[in-house]
Amino acid sequence: MTDEFGISLGDVIFADIDRNPYLNELYENILYNYSLRLFQINKERKAVSVPDALRFADVLSKSHSDRHMTWSQEIVALLKETDPQDSAVDVYLNSVLTSTGNYQGLETAEKKRVEPFELRRSVLDRFHAEYSKELVAVPAEPEKLFFRPQKQIYDHLSEPYFSYSGPTSMGKSFIMRMLIKKQVQDGLKFNYVLVVPTKALINEVSSKIINDLGSLLKEMNYRVVTSAGALALEEEHNFIYVLTPERLLYLLIRYPEKSIDYLFIDEAHKITSKDKRSTFYYKDIDMLAQRGKNLHVIFASPNIPNPEVYLKLVPESQDSTDFSNKKLSTSFSPVSQVKYLIDCVEGNTRLYNDRSGKFIDIGKAPASSQLSDVIAHLGKGVQTIVYYNSKDKAIQAAIDYAKHEQEKQDDELDTLAKEIENQVHKDYFLAKLIKKGVAYHIGYLPASIRMKIERLFREKKIVAMFCTSTLVEGVNLPADNLFITTYRKGRGQTKMTSVDFKNLVGRVGRINYNLYGNVFLVRLEENLKVKDFVELLEKEVPEQRLSLVTELKPKLKTKIIECLLQGHTNLEKDDNQSQDSFDLTRKFCLILLKDIMNGRNSIVKRAFSEYLTPDVEGKIKSLFETDEIVPDDDINTSVDQAKSLSVNIAYGLSYPTLDENGWTIQGEPQAFLEKLYKVFNWDKCESKETIGNFNRLRWYAVILRRWISGSGLGMIIVDSLNYAENKDDYKVRIAGQQVPYNPQSMFHRNIVMSETLQAIENVILFSISNYFLKFSEAYKRIHNIKGEMDNDWYEFVEYGTINKLTIFLQRNGFSRETAMYIRHHRDEYVEGLDIGIPKLKKSLLNCGNFSVVAEVQEMSINNPDLFID
């Protein structure tokens, strides 16, 4: 009902409901009573009229406000915990979740219900409920239901460009996957790209897509591709690419003729980050826009109030001022988080009321700085994730917690522990912890081990996971409790942003498992300030601005233009400039130069408009267009680096030679890296923490030599441990301090193991791999080599071997570990080697190795032509 002024009855009812004193009193008392139960505190409960609270929840669920609907769910979910025997709670839980359209929550509640429950409803109510479900049915999988905001977003995904934002738990990537599935079902022949921020997410998302589509992949001739080196790209298919921004750039460079119809950018808030990786998004989108095809660009981000900011990267939207129909931001969350501040220094525990923004005293904190005691106090056995900002702290905390745990005597845990001992090292702490249902997730691990850890956590065999920022980067694990031990991220003093915090908090309480989760901010050290923890809880996510705007200040823009006017791109790092800022500046400089040379009026070039007069632009263009080496699209290396590389190759620089087993003479890899250090000026353009530090090249050479020979991780780690023991001044970083290495210390040895795994992922497979790619391209151009070259160290690094079969299997989608397993058992499982057309026997599915079987199952769906019966 609406009056002549356009004000509905609902508007009147909901206008002041947030400030209703009785509702707020009831809600605060429910939170308090729930907290007493959670912390096992023997105090008198506060009075709550359950019927009144349920009526308020029912009213709130009818609101169109995201805040009200989420609030209504929280009230009934917590009442279900505090008053589990009250049958009225079940009735209202069902009604509220139906009203908010949280049908997945209804399924979760039903699974957790002990006693059977049947809701009595009128025929009209049942008809309305079924009609409401039809409206939000997922077109590709009608038995599944969207949340209402998901359906609104889904209906906009055929727009030329669209940007949406929602809580971490809303299932943003699910919407993308369901659009792809529906279009494939309908016989549409498109090519899709899903951009994810990390390699770990490539595996997770690609696996979900393969399982979503199943036999449709073969029937409709689609392939899921995760790298620019995939052999499927040489065949005639439609493609669904799952790539990081860097991998997408190399795909676009290598295959300029490949068309893309849909570009989905997940975790789009990375575009506003301050590090160099944000520049790849600018480059990728602009390169795709230049191809002239009708490209759909979709951005998805967590908890951003202004998702339309990312649309500025889309050339088609540059002249638009009204994005109201091109964006959607929702705060509706299908699950809730109850937040606490546990101060082990001052000895108190407080509950944070999200609605009032106030704290409520609950009781004393455990008088201990040992987090293991705090976790134990809050209930062993529930799924727990613990966040630390450094690897050594996370590892030590996991060890401390496991001291109080018994081995589970579980076959799967014991098998995984043995696998870690065999693949990594017998002394690696993780192997011993796994047996007790405890793990840490701090960076690189073989895909088979990492995926198995994540699966066992989902299956509740691993109950405690200690993590660093890898968790914030998007690993999706269901948890009941999340412990946050610091407001910092990384090894330095950088504080989490509100986006980081909201994204981290959203990892607890996942709709397929529960309706709410608990978040504990735990102050364990005196140097951590209470006010900074409080600020995380209180601060809303501000409107986001592009890194192009926030990081490229006038001084840096002037510096870039002056550099280009001198005919080079050798920017100098200022003394007070961070490495991230310098890297980002360099890459924007390279993007700008390429745009000037192409006459491309990109968003990056427009940011320099007041510095780029026609005369200045003309001078820059004339300085660079006469060079034999012209700017290209690869923003990992500059024109000046390319010139230096070409000169050195022309004078005889080449990769070290390898014998038939992939071995080179001891010392040659180090000498080669030292030459590249000078050729590419790593001392000026790379971090002193990695290849910008000349003294670290010897260690990287040790790892590199083993890696390309096809050695397993165990052998690489043994070599790293020997290197650390024999190097006089080797130090390990513990609690932010460099400590002389003690080979007798098991903890020191584990730090070296973790650093080795990190070096493989971030240095060997990223930094060095990128430079080797540039080297291989230049070498083939200068020596007029068509197609593949014999001694291509880029390929050897990319696949961790020189073996042709192992490379072939990885280019078909297998992990390095599974490819090596198949090669070692090739007589049993591989045919066609003698004629150069390898085929895999489906009997691999019975090999008994769980990780291999899981990959073979997916590959037989995604790449069926590789298999024979």
The average pLDDT across 54-79 equals 95
Q: Which amino acid is at 749?
A: R
Tokens linked to 192:
């899709």
pLDDT of residue 523: 93
3-state secondary structure at position 578:
coil
Instruction: Evaluate if residue 115 carries a pLDDT over 80.
Output: no
pLDDT of residue 851: 86
Span 414-453, pLDDT tens digits: 999 999 999 999 999 999 999 999 999 887 788 888 889 9
Better pLDDT: 199 or 195:
195
Q: Which amino acid is at 130?
A: E
pLDDT of residue 120: 61
Q: How confident is the model at residue 1 (pLDDT cuts 50, 70, 90)?
A: very low
Could you tell me what percent of the chain has a pLDDT over 90? 73
Tokens linked to 425:
């090292």
CA neighbours closer than 13 Å in the CB half-sphere of residue 596: 30
Tokens linked to 352:
């944070």
pTM of the model: 0.93
Instruction: Evaluate if residue 737 carries a pLDDT over 90.
Output: no
Residue 610: C-alpha distances to residues 282, 452, 557, 616 (Å): 20, 54, 10, 11
Residue by residue, DSSP assigns 749-792 as: HHHHHHHHHHHIIIIIIIIIHHHHHHHHHHHHHHTT--S--TT-
CA distance 807 to 360: 59
Chain centroid offset of residue 188 CA: 29
3-state secondary structure at position 591:
helix
The average pLDDT across 522-540 equals 93
CA distance 263 to 193: 5
Tokens linked to 668:
């040659």
Span 285-343, pLDDT tens digits: 999 998 877 899 999 999 999 999 999 999 888 777 788 899 999 999 999 999 999 99
Contact between 507 and 168 under an 8 Å Cβ cutoff? The reply is yes
**Nearest 5°: phi and psi at 136?**
-110, 15
Span 481-494, pLDDT tens digits: 999 999 998 776 78
CA distance 274 to 578: 10
Better pLDDT: 244 or 471:
244
Span 663-721, pLDDT tens digits: 888 899 999 999 999 999 999 999 999 999 999 999 999 999 999 999 989 999 999 99
Q: How confident is the model at residue 117 (pLDDT cuts 50, 70, 90)?
A: low
